[in-house]
Amino acid sequence: MDAQPETSRLFLALWPEPGVRHQLREARDAWTWPRGAGPVHADKLHVTLHFLGSVPTARLPELLDGFSVPFEPFRLDLGKPVLWPHGIAVLEPLSEPPELLALHARLRDALPALGLQPEARTYRPHVTLARRAAGAGIPEHAPAIGWDVRGYALVESKTGDGGAYSVLREYR
């Protein structure tokens, strides 16, 4: 029987610095969660740019360089708490900065050259605050979180270790 190659579960994300992460945690904690809800741990709060899925770990060196695309710093204002279908609680941006959409597009265009398939669904930038949150109490007044985005990251989601996230490289 052939051994399966080792894989890494990867995604590209806007990865908040500690001050923004603290504000995101406060935004998460302003909700009223129903029994059984799964609030996202503060160390995992982020904005996904592209979910890449399981990729052979041997390809990491090639991918680390392949995800380096032109980047313009921008401001992202988060502050729209929304309960999506299937009990996903999110914090959406107040508007979608053109620089964010351009970064998403540049990374999407880099994927096929790396042998990776971009997701077909429309990009909806957000921070996931909780899962299994149907019936959650949405805060009436959510203060806006101003985030000066200075880069993005390639992140690995570890299956063991309680599902820890590990930043493999930051791109600035």
Domains of the chain: 7-171 (3.90.1140.10)
E strand or H helix that includes residue 104: helix 98-110
**Average pLDDT of every residue of the chain:** 95
| Residue 97 confidence (pLDDT) | 98
| Residue 142 confidence (pLDDT) | 84
Predicted confidence (pLDDT) at residue 83 exceeds the cutoff of 80:
yes
Distances (CA, A) of 93 to 49, 90, 123, 132, 142: 14, 10, 13, 22, 12
The residue-averaged pLDDT of 93-107 equals 98
